[in-house]
Structure 1
Amino acid sequence: MNTVRQVHRAEPVTVRFAFTPAAAYVRAARLVAADVASHAGVATGLLDEVRQAVGEACTRAVLRHRDRDLDDLVRVEFSIGDRFVAKITDNAHDLRASSQGSANGVGLGGDARANDHDALEEDTLSEEITLIVLGGLVEDLVVAGPDAERGTTVTMSWPLPPAGPGADH
């Protein structure tokens, strides 16, 4: 029996989960992303892109948490509406904003270390490289944050086939 699955998107569907900032969970997030994207109807040729982009964004979030000694969960959200949207959110606030205060003797008891600046530059460069890679992978990429109080949300989206009674995937 040959069945045809039809895509009906009356209301957006959202899948959310969070994970401990560890490399093993990044692999799981990549697999979930590819599976949800496939079920949403993302073109087969884009599934590797989805998998890699979600992996890069999750790795970035894990590293931001690790660099700031945060045990907070990394949050992942996949939405299926007119497009397949992946959002990866970390809780790592902007070190540059907080280091401005510590460079002025505020925040860390006035103990500003010379190596902190080098480590901060290295972290910033690593994040910028990751964002360049993501920009090359994903046409629709938005990075919101960070600021002194909140982390970043990396939002990426991919096209879905037209919905309707005749649309199949």
Structure 2
Amino acid sequence: MNGSRHDRTGGRRPEPATVRFAFTPAAAYVRAARLVAADVAARSGVATGLLDEVRQAVGEACTRAVLRHRDRGLRDLVRVEFSIGDRFVAKITDNAQDLRARSGDRVGAGTVGGDARANDHDALEEDTLSEEITLIVLGGLVEDLVVTGPDADGGTTVSMSWPLPGSGSQSDH
């Protein structure tokens, strides 16, 4: 390392690096994820004018993951990864099975001794609408947004990226 990294990269491409962590799916930890995102983004050279966007977008994506876990009764950790290369990339991954991807299945159906309740369909529609609104908000915040999944574990990953100085990414859009 070459001394303090508190200064901007001055047009130099930052060293490739990755920061990973996971947190219990609780709203209290979303704030910590936002703060880490802003700090890592600032240290990687993301323009000061974009730091609020990074903070808000990571917060929205983490909140989405926490709600997906909560709604499905999961205690698995929400995974967060920030990588620094040509761009600053934030990935937030949940482990919640995407109920909308399974045609014909209803919440509660197939559980031992349980029938699908009439309001389960309404709850599923409400969850779907809430998730769609979150993705619309993210789409308005982040120019480079990709949602993938469900993966083999049934979860989804929200990937977002922002340009770094000297990457040439700013003029590509």
Three-state SS of the structure 2 residue aligned to 1:100 is coil
1:93 to 74, 90, 97: 97
Conservation of the 8 A alpha-carbon contact between 1:17 and 1:76:
yes
Identity level (%): 81
Show the counterpart of 2:51.
47
| Per-residue deviation, 1:9 | 3.7
Q: Does 1:23 align with 2:14?
A: no
Three-state SS of the structure 2 residue aligned to 1:86 is strand
Conservation of the 8 A alpha-carbon contact between 1:33 and 1:54:
yes
Amino acid at match of 1:113: R
1:68 to 52, 68, 72: 72
Give me the CA root mean square deviation. Answer: 2.4
CA distance in 1, matches of 2:14, 2:134: 33
| Per-residue deviation, 1:20 | 0.2
Counting matched residue pairs gives 160
1:128 to 113, 128, 132: 132
Per-residue CA deviations over 1:75-103 (Å, capped at 9, x if unaligned) read: 00000000000000000011234572458
| Per-residue deviation, 1:120 | 0.1
| Per-residue deviation, 1:113 | 1.3
Show the counterpart of 1:13.
17
When structure 1 is superposed on structure 2, of 105-114 and 86-95 the one drifting more is: 105-114
Amino acid at match of 1:87: K
Gaps of 5+ in 1: 164-169
In the superposition, the TM-score normalised over structure 2's length comes to 0.83
CA distance in 2, matches of 1:99, 1:112: 15
The structure showing larger relative contact order (alpha-carbon pairs under 8 Å, at least 6 residues apart) is 1
Show the counterpart of 1:167.
none
